[in-house]
């Protein structure tokens, strides 16, 4: 396990997923399927306040690409939520593997902030990961 987002950029490069940095009006990051069957990710680093946030956003966008979970802006809310959850689940499995989470907890890291620091992710993302592995859903706001 590494806390370095560079590994995610390398993963994207290996999968031929283009990642570009540029300012965006509304989003910190987004991913889109391209006509040739490949994918592209845009990241606005000026909207990222921490490396952890950049790592979580990039993993989430890679999750869209790796699971093919895309939707159009006009899609119904339940469809959008389903695709967002698929991307989150991929990102959780990539950044906070369950066996490594179990090991961290066994080593005494039981606070969300401590686990987030250990995995190099945001506290909100860590809440989602714990919720996913514990309750089988991503509704962390219901439990914390």
Burial, 101: exposed, middle or buried (Cβ in 10 Å; 0-12, 13-18, 19+)? buried
DSSP 3-state of 36 = coil
Q: Could you tell me the two tokens for 103?
A: 């090991």
Its pTM stands at: 0.92
Q: Which helix (H) or strand (E) holds 106?
A: helix 98-106
Q: What is the largest CA-CA distance in the chain?
A: 48
Mean pLDDT, residues 4-27 taken together: 94
pLDDT in tens, 16-61: 999 999 999 999 999 999 999 999 999 999 999 999 999 999 999 9
pLDDT in tens, 80-138: 999 999 999 999 999 999 999 999 999 999 999 999 999 999 999 999 999 999 988 87
> Are the C-beta atoms of 101 and 133 separated by less than 8 Å?
yes
């Amino acid at each position: 396990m590494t806390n370095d987002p560079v590994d995610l950029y390398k993963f994207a490069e290996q999968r031929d997923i283009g990642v570009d940095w540029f300012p965006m009006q509304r989003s910190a990051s987004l991913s889109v399927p391209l006509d040739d069957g490949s994918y592209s990710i845009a990241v606005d680093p000026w909207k990222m306040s921490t490396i952890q946030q950049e790592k979580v956003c990039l993993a989430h966008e890679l999750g869209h690409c790796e699971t093919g979970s895309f939707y159009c802006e006009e899609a119904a809310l339940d469809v959008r939520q389903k695709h967002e959850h698929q991307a989150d689940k991929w990102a959780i499995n990539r950044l906070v593997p369950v066996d490594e989470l179990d090991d961290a907890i066994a080593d005494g890291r039981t606070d969300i902030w401590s686990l987030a620091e250990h995995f190099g992710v945001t506290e909100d993302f860590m809440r989602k990961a714990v919720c996913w592995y514990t309750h089988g859903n991503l509704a962390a706001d219901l439990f914390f």
